């Protein structure tokens, strides 16, 4: 599986973000990616506190445009953004586009980020979003992907649902700088080690500006193997990196340390 991991500095201008997505997607597809994954808040990043989050219409022009990109390539395109559901509210959701198929809403973020972190402005994600309620395993070209989004990363019980069942866990994120410095690498490596699978975490990075308003995100998009080794890490900057994931490391780790056979407390 050749996976492309994109790092962005999204804005509150959807058209600008779409251009960044297209640039990264085309580059990764040309490099032979089977799947290109983008961070949380890909198409709209709220920068000014109090602004309404722009949720995209499931049947809107932006979705049609992304589908047209996927229709011209063999690579699947996956991103996480605000999706407006007129019946059930707005969700922070992961969507995938594949050639010749309808767009599919795969996962809705379960744990909403309502926090007051020293060094950052308070965040109340529940003011804008409804919470999802179900873990999701997605199968693609013979690989199984466990889906999660950003703040989900702190809740180990979700990842116990994926342990031994997923080949790759995806964690598209927009981590704050203080929590990123303290916890990003530790939590992601722990999820890979305890689940004995790859972890792929595309992230927002840098200064997001809208007029005089500025928000900062930590970045450091990561690809981690089932032993907990960082295979690739973005430093500062934007772009996309394509890396081949192989099955052998998953099998080797699970054979050497057979956690599935030793587990005594079963996930509910």
For residue 117, the model assigns a pLDDT of 75
Contact 58, 83 (CB under 8 A): yes
Q: Give the pLDDT score at 59.
A: 81
Side-chain half-sphere of 265: how many Cα atoms within 13 Å? 2
pLDDT of residue 113: 87
Task: Clarify whether 207 is annotated catalytic.
Answer: no
Other C-beta atoms lying within 10 Å of the C-beta of residue 263: 12
> Which residue in the list 24, 62, 108, 150 is annotated as catalytic?
150
Q: Where are the alpha helices (DSSP H) in 98-141?
A: none
* C-alpha 32 chain-centroid distance: 20
- The pLDDT value given to residue 268: 63
Residue 87, SS3 per DSSP: coil
Is 197 a catalytic site residue? no
User: One of 108, 109, 125, 197 is an active-site residue; which one?
Assistant: 109
C-beta of residue 84 within 8 angstroms of C-beta of residue 56: yes
For the beta carbon of residue 252, count every other beta carbon within 10 angstroms.
Answer: 13
The confidence score (pLDDT) of residue 114 equals: 84
Each domain of the chain, given as residue ranges in start order, spans 2-262
Residue 48: its pLDDT value, please?
86
Q: Which residues contact 76 (CB under 8 A, 6 or more apart)?
A: 34, 35, 36, 70, 96, 97, 98, 140
DSSP 198: E
Unique residue bearing structure tokens 């994600």: 125
Active-site residue, selected from the candidate residues 24, 40, 108, 125: 40
User: Could you tell me the two tokens for 82?
Assistant: 């605000």
The SS3 of residue 111 is coil
**What's the confidence (pLDDT) of residue 235?**
86
Q: Which residues of the chain have pLDDT under 70?
A: 120, 267-268
Q: Is 84 a catalytic residue?
A: no
The CATH label, of 3.20.20.60, 3.60.110.10, 3.40.50.720, 1.10.340.30, for the domain at 2-262 is: 3.60.110.10
Position 49 scores a pLDDT of 77
Plot region of 157 (φ>0 → left; ψ -120 to 50 → alpha; else → beta): alpha
What is the chain's alpha carbon radius of gyration, rounded to the nearest angstrom? 18
Segment 95-148, tens digit of pLDDT: 999 999 999 999 999 999 887 777 767 778 888 899 998 999 999 999 999 999
Confidence at residue 267, expressed as pLDDT on a 0 to 100 scale: 65
pTM of the entire predicted model: 0.95
């Amino acid at each position: 599986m050749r996976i492309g991991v994109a790092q962005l500095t999204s804005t509150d201008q959807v058209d600008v973000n779409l251009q960044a997505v297209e640039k990264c997607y085309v580059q990764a597809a040309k490099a032979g990616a089977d799947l290109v994954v983008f961070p949380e808040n890909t198409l709209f990043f709220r920068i000014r506190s109090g602004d309404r989050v722009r949720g995209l219409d499931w049947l809107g022009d932006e979705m049609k445009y992304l589908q047209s990109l996927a229709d011209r390539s063999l690579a699947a395109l996956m991103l996480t953004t605000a999706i407006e559901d007129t019946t059930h509210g707005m969700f922070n959701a992961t969507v995938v586009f594949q050639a010749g198929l309808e767009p599919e809403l795969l996962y809705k973020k379960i744990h909403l980020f309502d926090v007051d972190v020293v060094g950052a402005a308070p965040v109340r994600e529940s003011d804008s979003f409804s919470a999802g309620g179900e873990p999701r395993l997605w199968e693609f070209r013979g690989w199984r992907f466990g889906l999660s989004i950003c703040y989900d990363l702190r809740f180990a019980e979700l990842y116990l649902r994926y342990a031994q069942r997923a080949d790759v866990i995806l964690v598209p994120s927009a981590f704050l700088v203080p929590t990123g410095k303290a916890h990003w690498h530790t939590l992601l490596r722990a999820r890979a080690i305890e689940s004995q699978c790859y972890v792929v975490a595309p992230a927002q990075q840098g200064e997001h500006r809208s007029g005089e308003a500025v928000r900062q995100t930590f970045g450091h998009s990561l690809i981690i193997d089932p032993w907990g080794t960082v295979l690739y890490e973005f430093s500062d900057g934007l772009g996309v990196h394509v890396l081949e994931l192989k099955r052998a490391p998953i099998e080797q780790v699970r054979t050497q340390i057979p956690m599935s056979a030793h587990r005594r407390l079963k996930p509910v």
